[in-house]
Amino acid sequence: MVASDTLPDEKLQREEMYQCLIEAIDSLPEKYREALLLLYSPDLSREQIAKQLGLTRAGLNTRIARAHKLLRRNTESKLFGSTTP
């Protein structure tokens, strides 16, 4: 059983992490932000996203991987004060 006083702390931590993620997404260069936002749109396939952005499927995958790497760096820096190479 979890003590009731830890639940508000956990909720606050989740809210802070969510806000940090939103800020990190907003701070991405537009081409990475756009690719990520389209990726998480339930209505579009990767092929459709690639076509919309004028990329090949491989180009889209590269852009998404780079966006995730930037997000990881930005969020780790904000949350933990360090970054990964």
Which residue ranges make up each domain of the chain?
30-80
Give 30-80's CATH code, choosing from 1.10.10, 1.10.3470, 3.30.70, 3.40.1350: 1.10.10
Q: Tens digits of per-residue pLDDT, 28-45?
A: 999 999 999 999 988 999
- pLDDT value of residue 6: 61
User: Would you state the pLDDT for residue 5?
Assistant: 54
Does the CA dihedral 4-5-6-9 come out positive or negative?
Answer: positive
Q: Which two tokens stand for residue 38?
A: 């389209």
Which parts of the chain have pLDDT scores under 50?
1
Instruction: Give the per-residue pLDDT at 60.
Output: 97
Taking Cα atoms as reference points, which of 34, 42, 20 lies closest to residue 63?
34
pTM of the model: 0.73
The CA-to-CA distance between both ends of the chain, in Å, stands at: 39
